[in-house]
Chain A
Amino acid sequence: MRLELMYESFFKIVEGIPLTLQVVSISTILGIFLAVAVALMRISGNRLMSLPAYYFVYLIRGTPLLLQLYFVYYGLSQFEAIRESILWPILKEPYWCGIITLTISTGAYSSEIIRGGILSVSKNYIEASGALGLSQIKTFLLITLPITVRQALPAYGNELILMVKASSLISIVTLMEITGIARTIISKTYAPVEIFLVAGSIYLVINFIIVMFVNLAERRLGIEKAT
């Protein structure tokens, strides 16, 4: 073990943390909107809505993220029609390709969590709310949504950790986040084990902090730990 090398590279690798966190948070926020839309489509009761949503989730959950990233980044850019479209300024950038891929992925996985949360809201509450004269939208915002959030939060915490881990793949499309910087250092020092140990520890700490925040949020929302 070259401890001095590990110490020196630590300070270089931490410079990748902002990009990792940025990509993860933007994708997570965009992903929530996508997830809610997909979840509502799936439980809509209208097959024209629920079937596409079902196949979307099946497609994303059934294929590796790495492949999805290659598809979005290299696969789409092969076509001149795409390179001349208004989408190109976005699809041209590895940064946005990374965010699009991660958003689609977390959107599909979280839609299942949210769907589970919505379905867990007892029909009695919704009927009671109707009896009290609340509109459908008010019922959703005041009754369904808060209960869903409480139900879905523990699973969603897991999803956040999966997102941080998944973001390491975007180094493959030239982005210099934690893993990208680690790979660059390895290409100069030829010490993969030492450098990846440093990078791995950084991910571990980030995920540990996320777990603490999720636990805090769960406690504030009065969710009992289901262990």
Chain B
Amino acid sequence: MFDVFALGPTGWGDEMLMGAVMTVLVSSSSLLLGITLGIVFAACKLSNFFILRAIAEVYTTIIRGIPELLVIYLLFFGGSSAVMYLAKIFGYMGYIELNAFTIGTIAVGAISGAYSTEVIRGAVNSVPKGQFEVGKTLGLSGYSLYGKIIFPQVARIALPGIGNVWQITLKDTALISVTGLVEIMRQSRIAAGSTHEPFIFYTAAIILYLLITRLSNIFFDSAEKKYSKGYVSKEAL
């Protein structure tokens, strides 16, 4: 029964593992894009300009209100045309190809960005206002204020939330299998179809996702510990 997982040309074991590697790669790049978008749109939401707040609000409402599958399809089919349209404005007339990995990263990154926006905004809000004022009074600004005082606190508060966003992102990458990117989900569908053994391949896929989840939990837990040095946990109070 386990012959199907043989490594090498006769079995699907190595293909499934490569699928897992692809899942981790596309999840990580999506999360990075997501956090970047999250920082930008959180800044928009916290800004004094109505237009910026409105843009950020529309972005998070739309992404959180329509199914992830549709977001991915829309970017997959509309993404290249949109990029080419923009390129034409700048005078580039050729064809621009966005490969499955790029499209997948952009789509899942956009979803992940909407959730990150809320997490980061919440974290910034929870830094006491006095800290900004004290920092400014001490003559700090720019990197010294934000890089050394505010960011470490935001990072600490946001970390558990980002851990949740990672979990959402990891699972959403299963949907980009529709764009042809061979990650765990697509690989197990191909193998299940080819061998007519769906049970064993979907079980293998479940185990791979749980393994990635377990490993990333360990990573986020240790990161949380590192950033909360010097803080007393709530449970201990």
Residues of A within 8 A of B (CB): 58-59, 61-67, 70-71, 74-76, 78-79, 161, 164-166, 168-169, 179, 192-193, 196-197, 199-201, 203-204, 207-208
- Once A74-B192, A75-B199, A75-B202 are accepted as A-B contacts, the answer to whether A62 and B210 lie under 8 Å apart by CB is yes
| A70 & B171 in contact (Cβ 8 Å cutoff) | no
Can you name 10 extra interface pairs (CB under 8 A) apart from A59-B206, A64-B171, A67-B185? A59-B210, A63-B206, A74-B202, A78-B197, A78-B199, A165-B67, A165-B68, A166-B67, A193-B78, A196-B74
- Once A63-B209, A65-B171 are accepted as A-B contacts, the answer to whether A75 and B203 lie under 8 Å apart by CB is yes
**B54 interface residue, CB < 8 Å from A?**
no
Give the dominant DSSP class at A's interface. helix
CB-CB < 8 A to B197: which residues of A? 78
Chain B residues 107-127 with CB under 8 Å of chain A are none
CB-CB < 8 A to B64: which residues of A? 161
| B210 & A66 in contact (Cβ 8 Å cutoff) | no
30 residue pairs of the A-B complex, CB under 8 angstroms, read A62-B209, A62-B210, A63-B209, A64-B171, A64-B174, A64-B185, A64-B209, A66-B174, A67-B185, A67-B188, A67-B202, A70-B188, A71-B198, A71-B199, A71-B206, A74-B202, A78-B199, A79-B199, A161-B64, A165-B68, A168-B67, A168-B70, A169-B69, A192-B73, A192-B74, A193-B78, A196-B70, A196-B74, A201-B66, A204-B62
The 10 closest A-B pairs by CB, nearest first: A64-B174, A168-B67, A62-B213, A74-B198, A200-B66, A192-B77, A165-B67, A64-B171, A75-B199, A193-B78
The residue on A at minimum CB distance from B189 is A70
**B205 interface residue, CB < 8 Å from A?**
yes
Give the dominant DSSP class at B's interface. helix
| A196 & B73 in contact (Cβ 8 Å cutoff) | yes
Q: Per a CB cutoff under 8 Å, which of B65, B177, B209 touches A207?
A: B65
**B26 interface residue, CB < 8 Å from A?**
no
CB-CB < 8 A to B74: which residues of A? 192-193, 196-197, 200
CB-CB < 8 A to A207: which residues of B? 65-66
CB distance from B17 to the nearest CB of A (A): 17
Residues of B within 8 A of A (CB): 61-62, 64-71, 73-74, 77-78, 81, 167, 171-175, 177, 185, 188-189, 192, 196-199, 202-203, 205-206, 209-210, 213-214
Give Cα A10 to B65, complex, Å: 18
Q: Per a CB cutoff under 8 Å, which of B66, B77, B198 touches A203?
A: B66
The residue on A at minimum CB distance from B207 is A63
| B209 & A67 in contact (Cβ 8 Å cutoff) | yes
Give Cα A62 to B174, complex, Å: 12
CB-CB < 8 A to B68: which residues of A? 165
- Once A70-B202, A192-B77 are accepted as A-B contacts, the answer to whether A63 and B70 lie under 8 Å apart by CB is no
CB-CB < 8 A to A61: which residues of B? 167
CB distance from A106 to the nearest CB of B (A): 15
Give Cα A200 to B78, complex, Å: 14
CB distance from A202 to the nearest CB of B (A): 9
| B70 & A203 in contact (Cβ 8 Å cutoff) | yes
- Once A63-B209, A75-B203 are accepted as A-B contacts, the answer to whether A168 and B65 lie under 8 Å apart by CB is no
CB distance from B146 to the nearest CB of A (A): 24
Give Cα A208 to B64, complex, Å: 11
CB distance from A112 to the nearest CB of B (A): 11
Q: Per a CB cutoff under 8 Å, which of A63, A79, A203, A204 touches B171?
A: A63
| B66 & A204 in contact (Cβ 8 Å cutoff) | yes
CB-CB < 8 A to A165: which residues of B? 65-68
